[in-house]
Amino acid sequence: MFPAKRIEDLAHILGAKVGVSGQTPSLEAISTDSRHAMWLRPTAFFALKTQSGDGHAFAAEALQQGAVALVIEEQAAQRAQLEAAAAEAGAWVLRVASTWSALHRFAAAHRDSLQGPVVGITGSNGKTTVKEYLYHLMGDREVARSPRSFNSQLGVPLTVLGTDPHARCLLAEVGVSEAGNMARLAPLLRPNVGIFTSLGSAHEAGFASRAEKLAEKASLFAQSDWVIAPAAQPEIAQALAGHTRVWQHA
């Protein structure tokens, strides 16, 4: 996890307004799940809106679980109620335009502190398998990796924020399910090198065409030095050629 950070500095990174000033000066972790205990170390709760629910509805529960700060949206209907509850609990409230953008912005700032190279792994299939094989073959406890299959709009920033700045390197998998996803993830991960595992039929409904899906995935490596791609799918190498050097494997 990231080193302890002053909550006032976090507000600056997020471009947040301080709605309530709390008692705890710094934090050591973040959470997006109000069911998790947050009293073990100073934790900020990000109230994220998803297709299945609105994190603002659970922010009061996060305070009960020990959150020392809430990151909420300026226009949240529950804002006044949550600020009153936070003031009573001695917690901070940071108000932002979008909690998703704030989370990604925080991850991008932490990415700047990583001293080792970042290996980005994307593709329609095999991301987790390749990542785990690499991790165990390297046999180095100072190598960091995505937990399980954390490769989504939430999983990637949590992976970055969970990486020790002194890690020898980070093996991070990235998945996209619809057009526009990678434009939010690539800037916060910025892999130095990459692996494109395959291009298959997964998530085709989220893209206008196979070519659009390929271009979306390839854009992850716009700042990479080189990328490994499967020789059996030459279209991948062609798409990557506009971004970086390509090494093809059988």
- What pLDDT score was predicted for residue 247? 79
**What is this structure's pTM?**
0.93
The residues near 205 (Cβ < 8 Å, ≥ 6 apart) are none
Q: Note whether 165 and 115 are within 8 A (CB).
A: yes
Give, for all 250 residues of the chain, the pLDDT tens digit: 677 899 999 999 999 999 999 999 999 999 999 998 898 899 999 999 998 899 999 999 999 999 999 999 999 999 999 999 999 999 999 999 999 999 999 999 999 999 999 999 999 999 999 999 999 999 998 999 999 889 999 999 999 999 999 999 999 999 998 899 999 999 999 999 999 999 987 667 788 899 999 999 999 999 999 999 999 999 999 999 878 888 777 5
Distance from C-alpha of 52 to C-alpha of 244, rounded to nearest angstrom:
38
Residues β-bridged to residue 195: 121, 228
The alpha-carbon radius of gyration of the chain (Å, integer) is 19
- What pLDDT score was predicted for residue 203? 64
- What pLDDT score was predicted for residue 246? 83
Residue 63: enclosing H or E segment and its boundaries? helix 59-64
